[in-house]
Chain A
Amino acid sequence: MKLVYFAWVRERIGKAEEELTPPAEVASVAELIAWLKSRGEEYDYAFERGDLIRVAIDREHCRHDAPIAAAREIAFFPPMTGG
Chain B
Amino acid sequence: MQPTIRVQRQDFDLAHEAARLGEGRPEIGAVVTFTGLCRDEQGQLSALELEHYPGMAEEEIGRVVQEALARWPLLGLTVIHRFGVIRPGERIVLVATAATHRAAAFAAAEFLMDFLKTRAPFWKKTHLSDGSAGDWVAAHEADEDAAGRWR
Contact = CB atoms under 8 A, between A and B. Distances in A.
Q: Do A and B bind each other?
A: yes
Interface of A: 4, 6-8, 56, 59-61, 75, 77-83
Given A7-B136, A8-B136, A75-B53, A81 B122 contact: yes
Contacts of B53: 4, 6, 56, 59, 75, 77
Contacts of A59: 53, 55-56, 59-60
Contacts of B136: 7-8, 78, 81
Contact of B113 (A7, A60, A77, A83): A83
Given A56-B121, A61-B119, A78-B136, A83 B92 contact: yes
Most chain A CB neighbours (cut-off 10 Å) among B92, B117, B121, B125: B121
Those 6 A-B pairs whose CB atoms lie nearest each other, nearest first: A82-B122, A79-B139, A83-B117, A7-B123, A59-B56, A81-B137
A78 B56 CA distance: 15
Most chain A CB neighbours (cut-off 10 Å) among B60, B93, B123: B123
B108 interface: no
A81 B60 contact: no
A82 B113 CA distance: 10
Nearest to B92: A83
Contacts of A80: 117-123, 139
Interface of B: 36, 50-53, 55-56, 59-60, 81, 92-93, 113, 116-125, 136-139, 143
Contacts of A8: 136
Given A80-B119, A81-B124, A82-B124, 18 more contacts: A7-B51, A8-B136, A59-B60, A60-B56, A78-B136, A78-B139, A79-B138, A80-B122, A81-B137, A81-B138, A82-B81, A82-B93, A82-B116, A82-B120, A82-B123, A83-B117, A83-B122, A83-B143
Nearest to B139: A79
19 contacts: A6-B53, A56-B53, A60-B60, A77-B53, A79-B118, A79-B139, A80-B117, A80-B119, A80-B120, A80-B121, A81-B122, A81-B124, A82-B50, A82-B81, A82-B122, A82-B124, A83-B81, A83-B92, A83-B113
